[in-house]
Amino acid sequence: MSNGIDREGPGAAQAVTEIPIIEVDGHTGHTLEPEWKRLPIGTDHILYPVLVSLALFPILMGAAGHHLADDMPDDETHPFFPDHFWPYPIIAVIMLITVGLLAAFVQKNLQLEQPADPRAVTIPRPDWYFLFLFQFLKLGPELITAIVIPPVVVIGLLLWPFIDSFAGTRVARRLGWKRWPVPGRNIYTGTGWIVFLAIIAFLTLWALAGPGFCLPWFSGPVCGA
Partner 1 sequence: MAILLTSTVVVALAPLLVYLWPAAPKGQRKQVLTVTLDTPIDQLSDGQAVKFNAPASPDSAFIMADGGGDNAAGDLAFGGFVVKNQGKVDVFAINCSHLGCSIALNTDAKTFDCPCHGSRFHLDGTVLRGPAQAPLSHLTWKQGSDPSSIQVDGLTLGF
Partner 2 sequence: MAIPHPREIQTAVVDWLDDRYPFTKSVDEALYQRVPNFANAFYYCFGGMVFILIALQLVTGIFLSFYYVPDAGVPGNSPAYNSVLFIQNTQYLGWLIRGVHFWGANILIVMVLIHMARVYWTGSYRAPRELNWMVGVIMLLCVIFLSLSGYLLPWDTKAYFATEVTIKIAGLAPPAQLGAFIREVLQGGPVVGPATLQRFFTIHVFLLPAVIVLLMYVHFRFIRAHGISEPM
29 near partner 2, judged by CB under 8 A? no
Of 32-40, 128-136, 170-178, 208-216, the segment contacting partner 2 by CB under 8 A is 128-136
Q: Give dist(CA 188, CA 191) in Å, integer.
A: 5
9 near partner 2, judged by CB under 8 A? no
**Could you report how far apart the first and last alpha carbons of the chain are, in Å?**
82
Applying CB under 8 A, among 141, 150, 151, 210 the residue interacting with partner 1 is 141
CB of 18 to partner 2, least distance (A): 22
The total of other beta-carbon atoms located within 10 Å of residue 204's CB is 20
Q: Which residues of 68-85 are buried (b: 16+ CB within 10 A; e: fewer)?
A: eeeeeeeeeeeeeeeeee
Of 27-35, 42-50, 79-87, 91-99, the segment contacting partner 1 by CB under 8 A is 42-50
Q: Give dist(CA 135, CA 152) in Å, integer.
A: 18
Window 178 to 207, contacts with partner 2 (CB under 8 A): 181, 183-184, 186, 189-190, 193, 197
CB of 105 to partner 1, least distance (A): 32
48 near partner 2, judged by CB under 8 A? no
Distances (CA, A) of 155 to 50, 121, 150: 21, 36, 9
In whole angstroms, what separates CA 13 from the centre of its chain? Answer: 46
Of 23-31, 33-41, 45-53, 82-90, the segment contacting partner 2 by CB under 8 A is 82-90
216 near partner 1, judged by CB under 8 A? no
Name the DSSP class of 82.
I
Is the separation of the CB atoms in 225 and 204 below 8 Å?
A: no
Applying CB under 8 A, among 13, 106, 174, 178 the residue interacting with partner 2 is 106
Applying CB under 8 A, among 119, 174, 178, 179 the residue interacting with partner 1 is 119
Q: Give dist(CA 162, CA 168) in Å, integer.
A: 9
CB of 203 to partner 1, least distance (A): 14
222: enclosing H helix or E strand: strand 222-223
Residues interacting with partner 1, by CB under 8 A?
A: 39-41, 45-47, 50, 117-119, 121-124, 137-138, 140-142, 211, 219-220, 222-223
